[in-house]
């Protein structure tokens, strides 16, 4: 009877170990891969990832070059909070540049078409603050 019990116990242990190892082998996306997966779903290939200095946020940027049908560059981007695992800002624009101004602010500079006399370069630049989650002039 003791041999039968030890065989059953061994079988139960092996079954438990086998079940747990299959859970450990299943691929789980790490936080760093999550934004890349989202960017790939949204924009396809050739995406640039621009991290801030502290690596708490990343800009996922897709640039589309001009074509005979569309004469201007087009960009699409989102800002991803790596600590909270979420998109905090998303925008598409024609003829624009996106870059980190400092650790907390992304600068978006739009190239204007026809500028009226009272407009300056500052009218086509805005900042997005990742801490306050607000667009600032």
Q: Which residues make Cβ contacts (< 8 Å) with residue 57, sequence separation at least 6?
A: 51, 79, 80, 81, 82, 88, 130
* C-beta neighbour count of 91 within 10 angstroms: 16
pLDDT of residue 132: 96
Residue 134, pLDDT > 90, answer yes
Q: Virtual CA dihedral for 96, 100, 101, 102, nearest 10 degrees?
A: 170
- The predicted pLDDT at position 8 comes to 52
pLDDT at 15: 56
Q: Residue 95's pLDDT is what? A: 87
Residue 5's pLDDT band, with cuts at 50, 70 and 90, is low
How confident is the model at residue 26, as a pLDDT? 37
For the stretch 13-66, pLDDT in tens is 555 665 554 444 433 444 557 999 999 999 999 999 999 999 999 999 999 887
Q: How many CB atoms lie within 10 A of CB 94?
A: 15
d(C-alpha 71, C-alpha 69), whole Å:
6
Q: Phi first, then psi: what are they for 16, rounded to 5°?
A: -65, -45
pLDDT digits (tens, 9 = 90+) for 60-112: 999 988 777 777 789 999 999 999 999 999 999 988 999 999 999 999 998 87
What was the pLDDT predicted at 116?
A: 72
DSSP string, 7-28: HHHHHHHHHHHHHHHHHHHS--
pLDDT at residue 97 in the model: 94
Q: 123: helix, coil or strand?
A: helix
Helix (H) or strand (E) holding 88: strand 86-94
């Amino acid at each position: 009877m003791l041999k039968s019990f030890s065989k059953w116990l061994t079988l139960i242990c092996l079954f438990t170990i086998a079940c747990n190892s299959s859970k450990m082998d299943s691929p789980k996306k790490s936080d760093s891969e999550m934004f890349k997966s989202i960017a790939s779903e949204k924009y396809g290939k050739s995406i640039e990832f621009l991290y801030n200095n502290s690596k708490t946020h990343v800009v996922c940027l897709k640039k589309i070059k001009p074509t005979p049908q569309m004469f201007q560059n087009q960009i699409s981007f989102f800002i991803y909070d790596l600590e909270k695992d979420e998109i905090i800002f998303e925008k598409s624009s024609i003829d624009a540049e996106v870059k980190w101004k400092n650790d907390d602010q992304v600068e978006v500079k739009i190239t204007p078409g026809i500028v009226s006399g009272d407009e300056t370069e500052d009218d086509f630049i805005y900042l997005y603050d990742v801490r306050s989650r607000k667009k600032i002039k």
